[in-house]
Structure 1
Amino acid sequence: MVSALGIFFSGPGQTYSISVFVGSFVEQFNGNDTLVSGIYSAATLLSGSLLFLVGRGVDRFGQQKMAIFAASLLGIACLWSSIVANPVMLFIAFFMLRFFGQGSMTLIPNTLVPQWFIKRRGRAMSFMAIGSFISAVTFPLLNTWLIRQFGSEHAWQILGVLVVVIFLPVAALFIKNKPKDIGVMPDNASNKPRNSSEAQLATEDSKEIDWTLKEAKKTRAFWLMLFCVAIPALVNTAITFHLFRIFEEHHLSVGMASFILSLMAFVGFPVTMIAGFILEKVPVHKVIGLSFIGTLIFLTLLLFMDSVVMAVIFGILWGLMNGFERITLNIVWPNYFGLKNLGSIKGLAQTVMVIGSALGPLPLAFAFEQFGSFNEAILLLMILPMLGAIAAFISPQPTKFN
C-alpha cells in the first residue's frame, strides 16, 4: 500500500494533473500555446532520457532513500512551478515535475513491490496500480478546485506541501527495501517451513536468477520487450491527446469523448486487478501479445467509428487493453531478469516509455496538418501493435547460462 501511495503522489507530475494548469501558463505567456506545448515536450524528452540515473540510484541506495529524495524534489518542483516568470523557469518546472513525479515516483514503487513478492507478484502489482487510478481521478478535480479557490500559484504550493507532509513521513517510516532487511521472506513466507512441500516452494521461489543490465542487453527478449514497452506509451498518448478532435472528425460530440475517457478508466481499474491473478498462471509474454491484438482491434474501431455504440465499444476495449498493459509491462522485468539490478533495467524501460509518450502526439498532428484527417496516422499506428504482438510471442523468459 505504501507503493500505491507513492504512485498516487506521482500525480503532480503526470499529464492529467499538469494539464489543468496549462491554461494559466498559456495566458501568462500571452496565449502562446505552441510555446508552452513545445517546452513541455522538450522537458518530457529530457526527463525520460535521464531516468536511467534513478534506476541506478535505486540499485545503489535502495528504494527508501530514493523515494525520500524524489518526493522532496517533487515538493520543491511544485513550489518552483508557483513562481514561474519566464520560459526558462517553465522548462525547469516541467522538467522537475516530469522527472521526479511522472518518472521517479512511478519507477521506485515498481522496483519495490517485486522485491517483496514472488509467487503473488501479479496480484501485488495489481493492488499497487490502485494508486494510479485513484490519482488520475483525484488530481484533476483537486487541482480545478484549488485553482478556483486560491489561484494557480497557491494551488501549486498546496500540492507541494501535500507531497512533503503526507508521503515523506510514510516513506521514511514504512518503506523497507527488501524482506531480508527486517528478517522476513518474500510473500510473507515463514523462515522455517512447516512441511516438505512448503520447503520445496520456498526453494523454488529463491531460484529467481538475477541479471545485470549488461547481461540483459545481450538477450533478444530484452530488446523486443523494450520495443513492446514503447508501443502502448506512444499509441495511448497519441490517441488521448487528440481524442476530442478525432471524435469531432467522426461527428461525435466533445461530451462523448469525455465520457469515453472516463469509461476507459472505469473499465481499466477492475481489469488491472484481474490481470495480476492471470499473470500468476499465464506467461507474461503471451498476455502482452494478446493485448497488442486487442490494441489493433480498438484502433480499427476508432478508424471506422461512426456511431455512439461503436464509440462505447471502442472505449470498453481500450480500457481492457490499458488495464492489462499497466501490469504486464511492469511485471515482465523482474520476472525475466530478477531483482538485484532491477532499478537499472526498469530505469531504461521507463526511459523508453517516457520518450514514447513524448513522441506519441506528433504523428497524428502531422497527418492532420498534411491530410486534414487523422485516419492516415491511425493506419500507420496500427503497424506498431502488429509488430509488438510478433515481438512478444517470440520473447519467452530468457535462460541464463553460467
Structure 2
Amino acid sequence: MCGTILSASMLTWVGRQYDRYGARPVALLATIGLGIVLIYLSQVDRIQAVIGADSTSMVVNFLIMFFGFFTLRFSGQGALTLVSRNMMMKWFEKRRGFAMGFSNVTTSLTFASAPVFFEYLIQRYDWNGAWMILAVITGLVFPFYILTFFRDDPEKSGIRPDGDFVESAQSKANRFPVVKDFSLSEAQKTIGFWVFSMMLAMQALYWTGLTFNIVSLFEHAGYDRETAVSALIRDCHHRNLGCE
C-alpha cells in the first residue's frame, strides 16, 4: 500500500516528462527500469542476508520490500501504463471511446489471467526464478516492442488520428463541447477531479490488494491454492467461485 501510494504521487512528474520527451523515450526507460526492479526482487533474500537481517528485523525487511514494490509500481503499473494509455488517446479522436473500451477489455482479460501464469512460473522455477523470467521478458523483449511499435503522434507518421475513419452526418455534431480547458492546478480545485481520481484510486488499491494476497485470502475462506489463482478467470455456475 505504501509503495502504491508513493508511486502514484509521482505520476504527475512522469506526465510532465511524457509531454516533454514523448512516448518512446519514457516508455523505454520505464520498461528497462521495470526489468531491473524485477531482478532486485528476485534477490531480496540474498540482500537480506548481506545486510544481516533476519525474519524478525521488521524495519529492515519492510524497507527492502517497500523499495521493491514502490519501484515496481512506479515503473510498470505507473509510468508504463500512463505512457501507453496517453499515447493511444493521441491516435484516436472520434473513435477514442471505442479504442479505450477495447483496451480496457483486453487489459482486464490479461490482468485476470496473470495469476495463473505467475503461479505456473512459481511452481516450476520457484519465486525468485519467476521474478528473473519476468525480468528478461520486460527488460529485454519489451524494449524491442516499444522501439518497433510506439509512436508519439500520428501526424509524425504521416497520418491522421482515427486513420481513414469517416464519421456519419449524424455524428458530426459535438454533443459534449469543451467549455473550458483546465490546467492541473485548476483541475485540482474542482470536486469532479477528486471524485474521479478517488474512484480510480480505490479501484487500483482494491485490485492490487486482492491480487497480491489472493492465495492467503482464499485459504482463509477454505479454498485451495489452485482455486485462488484461477478465481479471476474461472467461469462457474451461479457465479460461485468454488464450484467446478
Residue 51 (1) aligns with residue 39 (2) = no
Q: Deviations over 1:63-82 (max 9, x none)?
A: 22111110010011111112
Equivalence for 1:262: 232
Matched residue count: 222
Matches within 5 A, 1:2-401: 41-84=1-44, 85-86=47-48, 87=61, 88-189=63-164, 201=172, 210-234=181-205, 253-254=222-223, 258=228, 261-262=231-232, 312=239
Q: Deviations over 1:281-308 (max 9, x none)?
A: xxxxxxxxxxxxxxxxxxxxxxxxxxx9
- Letter of the 2:148 counterpart: L
SS at match of 1:139: helix
Report runs of 4+ in structure 1 exceeding 6 Å deviation: none
State the shift of 1:224 in Å: 2.8
Q: Deviations over 1:228-267 (max 9, x none)?
A: 333434555667758976997xxx752697499436x869
Give TM-score scaled by structure 1 length. Answer: 0.46
Question: C-alpha separation between the residues in 1 aligned to 2:125 and 2:210?
Answer: 33
- The alignment-based identity, stated in percent, is 30
- Letter of the 1:185 counterpart: R
Q: Give the conservation status (yes or no) of the 8 Å contact 1:115–1:186.
A: yes
Structure 1 gaps of 5+ residues are: 1-40, 268-307, 316-402
Alignment CA distance shift 1:138-1:234 (3 Å): closer
Equivalence for 1:298: none
SS at match of 1:262: coil
Q: Give the conservation status (yes or no) of the 8 Å contact 2:115–2:230.
A: no
SS at match of 1:177: coil
Question: C-alpha separation between the residues in 2 aligned to 1:94 and 1:122?
Answer: 32
Q: Give the conservation status (yes or no) of the 8 Å contact 1:244–1:254.
A: no
Q: Give the conservation status (yes or no) of the 8 Å contact 1:244–1:257.
A: no
Question: C-alpha separation between the residues in 2 aligned to 1:216 and 1:132?
Answer: 27
State the shift of 1:106 in Å: 1.8
Question: C-alpha separation between the residues in 1 aligned to 2:39 and 2:230?
Answer: 34
Structure 2 gaps of 5+ residues are: 49-60
Q: Give the conservation status (yes or no) of the 8 Å contact 1:72–1:164.
A: yes
Question: C-alpha separation between the residues in 2 aligned to 1:147 and 1:260?
Answer: 14
Q: Give the conservation status (yes or no) of the 8 Å contact 2:35–2:138.
A: yes
Q: Give the conservation status (yes or no) of the 8 Å contact 1:47–1:99.
A: yes
Question: C-alpha separation between the residues in 2 aligned to 1:224 and 1:111?
Answer: 21
Q: Give the conservation status (yes or no) of the 8 Å contact 2:37–2:71.
A: yes
- Letter of the 2:6 counterpart: L
- Letter of the 2:223 counterpart: V
Q: Give me the CA root mean square deviation.
A: 3.8
- Letter of the 1:126 counterpart: G
User: Could you say which structure has the higher helix fraction?
Assistant: 1
